[in-house]
Amino acid sequence: MLKANKKLPNEARRPGRPEGQTNLSEGILDAAEALFAEQGYAGTTLRQVAEKLGANPAMVAYYFKNKDNLFREVFTRRGHAISADRMERLATLKARRNHDLRDLVAAFIEPAASLYHDPQGRAFLRLHARLHMEPAELSFELRRLVHNESTHAYAKAFADLLPEMPVREVYQRLTLLIGAYLYAFSGTSRLDELLIEGDDDPIKGLLESTIAFGTAGMRSP
Amino acid sequence: MLKANKKLPNEARRPGRPEGQTNLSEGILDAAEALFAEQGYAGTTLRQVAEKLGANPAMVAYYFKNKDNLFREVFTRRGHAISADRMERLATLKARRNHDLRDLVAAFIEPAASLYHDPQGRAFLRLHARLHMEPAELSFELRRLVHNESTHAYAKAFADLLPEMPVREVYQRLTLLIGAYLYAFSGTSRLDELLIEGDDDPIKGLLESTIAFGTAGMRSP
DNA sequence: GCTTTAATTAATCAAGTGACTAATTAATAA
DNA sequence: TTATTAATTAGTCACTTGATTAATTAAAGC
């Protein structure tokens, strides 16, 4: 996290537009992403967001109007990217014309799972998982906005590969898949803690495990 | 939710111990369970809890000392029951001596899933799922307290049935299973919304689907 | 060069927040 | 009966919250 307007010694900060050009809005989104991920919507204060950048609390309102809007922008920034990535991968698979269930599961999960490597991306994954637990009015609207299209597209694609499975069952399985990968990649599972004998990185192979688990789960009669 | 001390007309409430015996503490736990489930720890105020019962906010402090403690008691009340139920079912299976993966998955999930029928139990399921997203200091301590024993016991039981699978992998699969069922039964999935053609109850068969999904996922190489 | 617009600080506001206290009344113990 | 304990209300306290405003300074437009 880069501090904006780093205070040089003996150079107190004064009101007014600073010299040069600044882009505080990205920094605010990053800070808010990390804090919302860690503490949730209600548990995060705008002052915390500002403090994380060394900025004035009023700057948050200046760039994002209010807390609700800030949260929306934090979520949609990466959410739309994930959704677009999913749609792209699905199109690629369909063009190949010989994909199987495993390909579909991987295409669905990887756009989100790939964020895990970067700390800021990991914060978003936590935020994403947490969003499902936020009050419905905020949560459902955002999830609908970001995920509706790609979720239906994947459900259709799964249904095509599982012609004997009722459509409702396909959606239920997809729901289970989403719950599994969100939890596993949210960083809130107690996996590391449970694995006391942990010699290696417990996350190693997590993507592979998730795809294997999800593929078998989707396929099972 | 029964209102405690329902105000009879023309009979204003006065300070002092009321006649008869009261048991406000169960009512407070129920109200808090519903509100924590809906709004999370930070998003719920003690005044809301009190108001839901028509009680004085000070009563919450009287019975539960503070907010943190109230949350702990709400969670452990049912959490310990689930954990005990799991241990019992595991013992029953082991005594039978011929259980398979599916039995194990069902024994793990059903104690929680069975709460789904009752609205208050459903609130707890939502709270339980949400707990995983609360700040670590609160979440991890409670989950450790309530679930450590049974989780390790089931991991051991799964490992016995999956001798070729590395122990770490067993824990990872168990984590995926937990994520899947928690999400599916938290009532926060958008399943009903996605299933526009929903003629029947979309939850119908959810337990069966979850067990099928989880069993296949655990078994898959 | 002058005017308008953009970006910042400091200060403040009303509305909550969790927690606590004193007063009060009924039940229980002695 | 009397003293003590349990359960309740009303009120308050210091603090935090999201939001807004006026003043201030630099950049951009003309």
> At residue B94, what are phi and psi to the nearest 5 degrees?
-60, -35
Smallest Cβ–Cβ distance between A213 and the set B139, B167, B217 belongs to B217
Q: Is B145 on the interface with A (CB under 8 A)?
A: no
Positions in chain D where some atom is under 7 Å from a protein CB:
6-11, 16-28
pTM (2 decimals)?
0.92
Gap between the Cα atoms of A16 and A34, Å rounded: 28
A133·B40 Cβ contact <8 A: yes
Predicted confidence band of residue B6 (pLDDT cuts 50, 70, 90): very low
User: b or e along A63-101 (b: 16 or more beta carbons within 10 Å of the residue's beta carbon)?
Assistant: bbeebeebbbbbbeebbeebbebbbebbeebeeeeebeb
Instruction: Kindly report the average pLDDT of chain A as a whole number.
Output: 90
B180·A217 Cβ contact <8 A: yes
Over the stretch B61-100, which tens digit does the pLDDT of each residue have? 999 999 999 999 999 999 999 999 999 999 999 999 899 9
B45 touches strand D (CB under 7 A): no
Chain-centroid distance of CA A201 in Å reads 22
Q: How far is the CA of A17 from the C1' of D24 (A)?
A: 8
Q: Is A209 on the interface with B (CB under 8 A)?
A: yes
Predicted confidence band of residue A5 (pLDDT cuts 50, 70, 90): very low
For residue A145, pLDDT beyond 70: yes
What pLDDT was estimated at residue B195?
A: 76
Residues 28-47 of B with CB under 7 A from strand C: 44-47
A178·B183 Cβ contact <8 A: yes
Q: Is A166 on the interface with B (CB under 8 A)?
A: no
B43·A42 Cβ contact <8 A: yes
For residue A7, pLDDT beyond 70: no
Positions in chain C where some atom is under 7 Å from a protein CB:
6-11, 16-28
**A148-155 mean pLDDT:** 97
A22 touches strand C (CB under 7 A): yes
**A139-152 mean pLDDT:** 96
Predicted confidence band of residue B189 (pLDDT cuts 50, 70, 90): confident
Q: Do domains B10-67 and B72-219 have the same CATH topology?
A: no
**Beta carbons of A1 and A26 less than 8 angstroms apart:** no
What pLDDT was estimated at residue B106?
A: 98
Give me the CATH topology for the region B72-219.
Tetracycline Repressor; domain 2 (1.10.357)
Q: Is A197 on the interface with B (CB under 8 A)?
A: yes
A20 touches strand C (CB under 7 A): no
Contacts of A94 (CB under 8 A, 6+ apart): A157
Which sequence spans correspond to the domains of chain A? 10-67, 72-219
B101 touches strand C (CB under 7 A): no
For residue B204, pLDDT beyond 80: no
String of DSSP letters for A180-192? HHHHHHTT-S-HH
By C-alpha distance, the chain B residue nearest A217 is B213
What pLDDT was estimated at residue B186?
A: 92
**A30-59 mean pLDDT:** 96
Give me the residues of B, 102-141, that contact A with CB < 8 A. Answer: 126, 129-130, 132-136, 139-140
Q: Is B152 on the interface with A (CB under 8 A)?
A: yes
What pLDDT was estimated at residue B201?
A: 59
What pLDDT was estimated at residue A194?
A: 80
| CA contacts within 13 A on the Cβ side of A138 | 23
Gap between the Cα atoms of A103 and A100, Å rounded: 5
Predicted confidence band of residue A201 (pLDDT cuts 50, 70, 90): low
Q: Which nucleotide is nearest to B19 (CA to C1')?
A: C26
Q: How far is the CA of A204 from the C1' of C2 (A)?
A: 64
B153 token code pair: 């016991």
Predicted confidence band of residue A12 (pLDDT cuts 50, 70, 90): low
Give me the CATH topology for the region B10-67.
Arc Repressor Mutant, subunit A (1.10.10)
